[in-house]
Amino acid sequence: DAMVIQNPRYQVTQFGKPVTLSCSQTLNHNVMYWYQQKSSQAPKLLFHYYDKDFNNEADTPDNFQSRRPNTSFCFLDIRSPGLGDAAMYLCATSRGGRGLGTYGYTFGSGTRLTVV
């Protein structure tokens, strides 16, 4: 089945040690999103790719970076994780372009990041 896959499901990293979360999709969607979700809160958009165009949210810390080497893969890099970065990180995809916002968004199962 076409889907969005996030690896790993659970990630433990040390304070200040760079970590990379990955997302892959078989839907051939041209838009990919990264969300941060802290406990009992709504998902917060960090950034998204529209094809190869990177769109950063204004309040996303510089500590968070992303790469999209091809349509299928997208990575979230946290350069120096702090205790406040512990959260669930969700990847989502959608079809982009005018008139295509109706399709909704397909989410992966998320990666729960713990910082020790």
Q: Does an H or E element contain 31, and which?
A: strand 31-37
For residue 41, what are the contacts with CB-CB under 8 A and spacing of at least 6? Answer: none
Residue 7-26 contact track with other proteins, rule CB under 8 A, x = bound: --x-----------------
Taken in order 1, 91, 78, 54, the sign of the CA dihedral is positive
Please select the residue that binds other proteins; options are 32, 93, 108, 115, rule is CB under 8 A: 108
Q: Binding of other proteins at residue 101 (CB under 8 A)? A: yes
Q: Binding of other proteins at residue 29 (CB under 8 A)? A: no
Our CB check for other proteins shows the closer of 75 and 95 to be: 95
Nearest-CA neighbor of 74 among 104, 56, 96, 54? 54
Residue 59 identity:
D
Q: Binding of other proteins at residue 50 (CB under 8 A)? A: yes
- Binding residues for other proteins, per CB under 8 A? 4, 6, 9, 31, 40-43, 45, 48, 50, 55, 88, 90, 92, 94, 96-98, 100-102, 104-110, 112
